Amino acid sequence: MTEAPAWANAAHALADKVTANAPGWHEAVSNTPRHKLVPRWWQRIPNSPTQEWELVDLAENFPERLRAAYTDETLVTRVGPTHADHATPGEHGKGDPTSSSTLPGLIVSMAHRLDVKPGHKVLDVGTGSGYSAGLFARRFGDENVTSVDVDPYLVEAARTRLAEFGRTPRVEAIDATGELPDTEYDRIMATVSVRPVPASWLRALRPGGRLVTTIAHTALLITADMGPDGIARGTVQPDPATFMETRREADYPAKLNDVFVTARVREGEDVRPPEGSIPDLWQEWPLRWLFELDTPGVETRAATYPDDGRRVVWLLAADGAWARAEDGTSPLVHQGGPRRLWDDLERVRSRWEENNRFSLHSMRAELSPDGSHLLTPDDSWRFTI
């Protein structure tokens, strides 16, 4: 009797954990060697002032590599423009993650929501390490799975590594916000976030087909089914999911540090007390995501003054608009540039409160090639996505 490889028990234990609510995926998770798809990865250096990462490079059967690969966690494979495969020993990565192998539990949860049936053609947007493509191919057949990514190296590496254990889905390097490899799919799942929802996806989704995706700069997960009228209708799901957004270049645009220099301490052109309390946008995430839906592209930062414990929140925009809100005994809001960003935030909060602070997963999605929207429960508020 042949002894099972060292990773098999770890993969089976992972499957036990992440497929409890989706048992149909247990066999695929148990038999997909994730450690072969992620031979090296980046690990954030704790308390690094410049957001640096260290390289993790371990032998294939090294216990720590297997532990990491078969724990339900995300492994960051690319930081800024540098993939872990191309890093030299001792090199530090710098910047934000630009690719990863998403935590298996989230992949399984989304794939379960996708509700793929035998014979369905599946489009997996965001190849990354190839893990989700490997799971789909294992369960539904290589011939039924297409996976796409904007990065040619990621695509080639995933294709090669999948083939090493017998998986041969179609894997293509394209900008998935443009035209797709085929014109018709039954299911589309994206492990990158988008805004707008690409018209090409909606043109390619067959009537009765299903789309699962997230909206950029939020953790709003949408499931929508294509109707015979060319409109996919669905809802925001109760469990949030955060993904990197689609990109066209090697890295994402630089953060708004120049605007922050202005906003950090400068007297505003408009200075006033806030209307109500200054929100903690990292704790009050529904408000932060509603603000993003209403006023997209605003970068948010926060800090606490060490001398007296006062909180400060900054809102920054690429057009030079900025706001700084400071709490304390005499809270103040400073605003400058061509727009009043804090006014926008307070307007969104006020409208949300007027609508009884509805749950975000009560919103409905209507997606079509001509335009996509999220609608509040009473249809009084409509966000273009």
Q: Give the model confidence (pLDDT) of 212-271 as tens digits.
A: 999 999 999 999 999 999 999 999 999 999 999 999 888 899 999 999 999 998 999 999
- The CA-based diameter of the chain, rounded to the nearest angstrom, is 78
Please give the structure tokens belonging to residue 333: 């809001």
221-226 sheet: strands from edge to edge: 170-173, 145-149, 122-125, 185-194, 205-215, 221-226, 232-236, 364-368, 371-375, 382-384
Instruction: For residue 270, count other CB atoms closer than 10 A to its CB.
Output: 13
CA–CA gap between residue 345 and residue 341 (Å, rounded): 6
Which residues does the annotation mark as catalytic? 99
Q: How confident is the model at residue 48 (pLDDT cuts 50, 70, 90)?
A: confident
Q: Give the model confidence (pLDDT) of 190-207 as tens digits.
A: 999 999 999 999 999 999
Q: How confident is the model at residue 189 (pLDDT cuts 50, 70, 90)?
A: very high
Checking if the pLDDT of 51 tops 90, the result is no
Asked if 344 and 294 count as a contact pair (C-beta separation under 8 A), the reply is yes
Instruction: For residue 182, count other CB atoms closer than 10 A to its CB.
Output: 12
Please tell me the predicted confidence (pLDDT) of residue 354.
95
Please tell me the predicted confidence (pLDDT) of residue 149.
97
Closest to 223 measured CA to CA, from 113, 116, 71: 113
Q: Give the model confidence (pLDDT) of 76-110 as tens digits.
A: 999 999 999 999 999 999 999 999 999 999 999 99
Q: Which whole number is the average pLDDT over 50-59?
A: 92
Number of C-alpha atoms within 13 angstroms, CB side, residue 333?
Answer: 20
Q: Which whole number is the average pLDDT over 120-149?
A: 98
Contacts for 363-366 with beta carbons within 8 Å, 24 or more apart?
A: 363/235, 363/236, 364/233, 364/234, 364/235, 364/236, 365/222, 365/224, 365/232, 365/233, 365/234, 365/235, 365/236, 366/231, 366/232, 366/233
Please tell me the predicted confidence (pLDDT) of residue 322.
98
**Which phi and psi angles does 39 have, rounded to 5°?**
-75, -25
Lowest-confidence range among 143-147, 290-294, 375-379? 375-379
Please tell me the predicted confidence (pLDDT) of residue 3.
62
Please tell me the predicted confidence (pLDDT) of residue 312.
95
Q: Give the model confidence (pLDDT) of 339-374 as tens digits.
A: 999 999 999 999 999 999 999 999 999 999 999 999
| Domains in the chain, CATH or no CATH each | 257-354 (3.30.160)
Asked if 250 and 78 count as a contact pair (C-beta separation under 8 A), the reply is no
Checking if the pLDDT of 305 tops 90, the result is no
Checking if the pLDDT of 4 tops 90, the result is no
Please tell me the predicted confidence (pLDDT) of residue 1.
46
CA–CA gap between residue 107 and residue 185 (Å, rounded): 19
Please tell me the predicted confidence (pLDDT) of residue 249.
87
Please tell me the predicted confidence (pLDDT) of residue 310.
86
Average pLDDT, the chain: 95
Q: 324 in helix, strand or coil?
A: strand
Please give the structure tokens belonging to residue 309: 């414990």
Q: How confident is the model at residue 2 (pLDDT cuts 50, 70, 90)?
A: low
